[in-house]
Amino acid sequence: QEQRRRLLAVATRFPLPSGTFSYGTAGFRADGATMAPAVCRAGILAALRSVKLAGAAIGIVITASHNPVGDNGVKIADPDGGMMAQHWEPFADALANAPDPDALLQLVLQFAKDEGIPLGGQDTAQVLLGRDTRPTGAYLLDAALQGINAIVGANAIDMGILTTPQLHWMVRSKNKGAKASESDYFTQLIGSFRRMLELVPKDKGGDEVAKKLIVDGANGIGGVKLEQIKVELSGLDIIVRNSGKEGEGILNHMCGADFVQKERVTPHGFSPDDVSVRCASLDGDADRLVYFRLSSASDSRVDLVDGDKILSLFALFIREQLDIINNSGGQTNKSLSARLGIVQTAYANGASMQFLKSLGLEVVFTPTGVKYLHKRALEYDIGIYFEANGHGTVVFSEDFISQLESLSNGLSSQAATGSAQYHAVMRLLAASQLINQAVGDALSGLLLVEAILQYKGWSFQNWCELYSDLPSKQMKVKVKDRSVIVTTNAETKVSQPCGLQELIDKETANYTHGRCFVRPSGTEDVVRVYAEASTQVEADSLTKSVAHHVE
Q: Which stretches of the chain bind Zn ion, using CB under 5 A?
A: 65, 283, 285, 287
CB 169 within 8 A of CB 441: yes
Q: Name the minimum Å distance from CB 354 to Zn ion.
A: 28
CB 57 within 8 A of CB 127: yes
What distance in Å separates the CA atoms of residue 377 and residue 389, rounded to the nearest whole number? 18
> Considering beta carbons, is residue 66 or 174 the nearer one to ligand NG1?
66
The site partner of 385 among Zn ion, ligand NG1, none (C-beta below 5 to 8 Å per kind) is none
> Considering beta carbons, is residue 75 or 268 the nearer one to Zn ion?
75
What distance in Å separates the CA atoms of residue 203 and residue 10, rounded to the nearest whole number? 63
Q: Name the minimum Å distance from CB 437 to ligand NG1.
A: 18
> Considering beta carbons, is residue 65 or 408 the nearer one to Zn ion?
65
> Considering beta carbons, is residue 40 or 257 the nearer one to Zn ion?
257
CB 308 within 8 A of CB 356: no
Active site residue 192: no
Q: Name the minimum Å distance from CB 110 to ligand NG1.
A: 30
> Considering beta carbons, is residue 216 or 287 the nearer one to Zn ion?
287
Beta strand 154-161 with 125-131 is: parallel
Q: Output the CA angle 59-364-318, nearest 5 degrees.
A: 75
Specify the DSSP class assigned to residue 301. Answer: B
The site partner of 528 among ligand NG1, Zn ion, none (C-beta below 5 to 8 Å per kind) is ligand NG1
The site partner of 25 among ligand NG1, Zn ion, none (C-beta below 5 to 8 Å per kind) is ligand NG1
> Considering beta carbons, is residue 25 or 155 the nearer one to ligand NG1?
25
Q: Name the minimum Å distance from CB 288 to Zn ion.
A: 5
The site partner of 368 among ligand NG1, Zn ion, none (C-beta below 5 to 8 Å per kind) is ligand NG1
Pick from 308, 466, 469, 268: which is nearest to 390 by CA? 308
CA atoms within 13 A on the CB side of 231: 1
The site partner of 283 among ligand NG1, Zn ion, none (C-beta below 5 to 8 Å per kind) is Zn ion
What distance in Å separates the CA atoms of residue 417 and residue 394, rounded to the nearest whole number? 26
What distance in Å separates the CA atoms of residue 289 and residue 257, rounded to the nearest whole number? 6
CA atoms within 13 A on the CB side of 237: 6
Question: What are phi and psi for residue 273, nearest 5 degrees?
Answer: -60, -20
> Considering beta carbons, is residue 423 or 528 the nearer one to ligand NG1?
528
Q: Is the dihedral of CA 204, 210, 216, 221 positive or negative?
A: positive
Q: Name the minimum Å distance from CB 381 to ligand NG1.
A: 25
Q: Name the minimum Å distance from CB 29 to ligand NG1.
A: 9
Positions that interact with ligand NG1 (CB under 6 A)? 25-26, 65, 347, 368-369, 387, 389, 391, 521-524, 528
The site partner of 285 among ligand NG1, Zn ion, none (C-beta below 5 to 8 Å per kind) is Zn ion
Q: Find residue 382's DSSP bridge partners.
A: 340, 396
Q: Name the minimum Å distance from CB 165 to Zn ion.
A: 9
Q: Name the minimum Å distance from CB 365 to Zn ion.
A: 22
What distance in Å separates the CA atoms of residue 177 and residue 170, rounded to the nearest whole number? 11
Q: Find residue 294's DSSP bridge partners.
A: 302
The site partner of 521 among ligand NG1, Zn ion, none (C-beta below 5 to 8 Å per kind) is ligand NG1
Specify the DSSP class assigned to residue 240. Answer: E
Beta strand 71-77 with 154-161 is: unpaired
What distance in Å separates the CA atoms of residue 405 and residue 166, rounded to the nearest whole number? 26
- Marked catalytic residue, from 50, 65, 281, 545: 65
CB 257 within 8 A of CB 290: yes
CB 72 within 8 A of CB 62: yes
Which strand (E) or helix (H) includes residue 283? Answer: none
Q: How far apart are the first and last CA of the chain?
A: 52
> Considering beta carbons, is residue 230 or 493 the nearer one to ligand NG1?
493
Catalytic residues: 65
